[in-house]
């Protein structure tokens, strides 16, 4: 009798856990919101009501998200929309590309992605798969008459949160694939890498990042990026 009662309790707890997980998934994914589809939901609804024929959406990860923290005026004083989310990989960006880019009906999209794939933030992924995800975003944009700017992945010599992965050569390989795709398809390739890399394939320290970061630009780094992207957009 005691054994049957114990089994019943275990089954009840398992069913309760499944119910809670189902609620979490229904509420937005990875047991929360894997692609962060909810992050810009309200802002997107507001933007969709405003017709701006010059709108440019910047799609990316923490490097794009942090841009507004270092120089908010770059976005405020231009028809630019920041849709960067820290830590994201290209599979996550691809999932949210329609609500965060296409549905805003922009003139252009600037895609800066790939470094977190190389860091393995959401699991193992090949450089080729990362490139395909970025290319898929570009093709979705072009199918919706949105002009595409594909950016080089920024240089990185190491990841403080995931050391020892030797990202330098992987960044170079990814950028080579992206540049070749852009050349073959008449898409603008925005080369941040060339202006910001040191002779070891890292982001220049201390010019453009700190020695304890190595991945995210400082204000000087963003200023270089601003000049490059503004020249490309104009």
If DSSP codes are grouped into helix, strand and coil, which group holds residue 58?
A: strand
Half-sphere exposure of 2 (CA within 13 A, CB side): 0
C-alpha 234/C-alpha 230 separation (Å) is: 6
Please compute Rg for the chain using Cα positions. Answer: 21
Half-sphere exposure of 1 (CA within 13 A, CB side): 0
Quick one: pLDDT at residue 148? Answer: 98
Q: What is the average per-residue pLDDT within 45-52?
A: 95
Q: Distance (Å, rounded) from C-alpha 89 to C-alpha 116?
A: 5
Q: What is the pLDDT of residue 37?
A: 95
Choose the weakest-confidence range: 2-6, 124-128, 208-212, 230-234.
Answer: 2-6
- Distance (Å) of CA 92 to CA 59, 67, 209: 11, 20, 26
At 225, list the tokens. 């990026």
Rounded Cα distance between 177 and 167, Å, is: 16
Please state the rounded mean pLDDT for residues 162-167.
Answer: 92
Query: pTM for this one?
Result: 0.86
How far, in Å, CA of 102 to CA of 81, rounded? 12
CB count in 10 Å sphere of residue 169: 11
Tokens standing for residue 9: 């309790």
**Strand pairing report for 188-190 and 147-151:** parallel
Q: What is the structure's pLDDT at 6? A: 45
Q: Which residues contact 131 (CB under 8 A, 6 or more apart)?
A: 114, 174, 177, 178, 181
Nearest Cα to Cα of residue 210 among 157, 162, 170, 167: 157
- Name the architecture of domain 35-233: 3-Layer(aba) Sandwich (3.40)
SS3 188: strand
Q: Are 119 and 162 in contact, with CB atoms under 8 Å apart?
A: yes
Say what the pLDDT of residue 22 is. Answer: 40
- Give me the helices (H) in 58-143, please: 62-70, 72-76, 90-100, 115-119, 127-143
Q: Is the pLDDT of residue 20 over 80?
A: no
Query: Would the pLDDT of 14 be above 60?
Result: no
pLDDT over 60 at 1, yes or no: no
With 0-12 / 13-18 / 19 or more C-beta atoms within 10 angstroms meaning exposed / middle / buried, residue 234 is exposed
Residue 128: pLDDT over 70 = yes
Please determine, for residue 158, whether its predicted confidence score (pLDDT) is greater than 70: yes
Q: Would you tell me the crossing angle of helices 90-100 and 127-143 to the nearest 10 degrees?
A: 10
């Amino acid at each position: 009798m005691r054994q049957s009662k114990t089994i019943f309790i275990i089954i009840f707890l398992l069913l309760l856990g499944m119910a809670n997980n189902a609620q979490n998934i229904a509420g937005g994914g990875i047991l929360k919101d894997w692609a962060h589809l909810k992050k810009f939901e309200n802002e997107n609804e507001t933007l969709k009501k405003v017709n701006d024929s010059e709108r440019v959406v910047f799609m990316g990860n923490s490097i794009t998200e942090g841009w507004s923290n270092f120089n908010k005026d770059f976005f405020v004083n231009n028809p630019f929309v920041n849709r960067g989310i820290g830590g994201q990989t290209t599979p996550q960006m691809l999932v949210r590309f329609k609500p965060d880019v296409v549905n805003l009906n922009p003139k252009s999209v600037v895609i800066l992605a790939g470094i977190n794939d190389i860091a393995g933030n959401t699991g193992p992924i090949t450089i080729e798969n990362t490139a395909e995800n970025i290319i898929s975003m570009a093709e979705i944009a072009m199918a919706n008459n949105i002009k595409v700017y594909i950016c080089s992945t920024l240089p990185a010599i190491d990841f403080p949160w995931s050391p020892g992965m030797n990202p330098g050569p992987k960044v170079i390989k990814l950028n080579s694939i992206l540049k070749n795709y852009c050349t073959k398809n008449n898409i603008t390739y925005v080369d941040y890498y060339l202006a910001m890399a040191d002779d070891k394939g890292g982001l220049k320290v201390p010019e453009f990042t700190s020695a304890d970061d190595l991945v995210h630009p400082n204000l000087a780094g963003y200023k270089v990026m601003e000049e490059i992207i503004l020249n490309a957009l104009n």
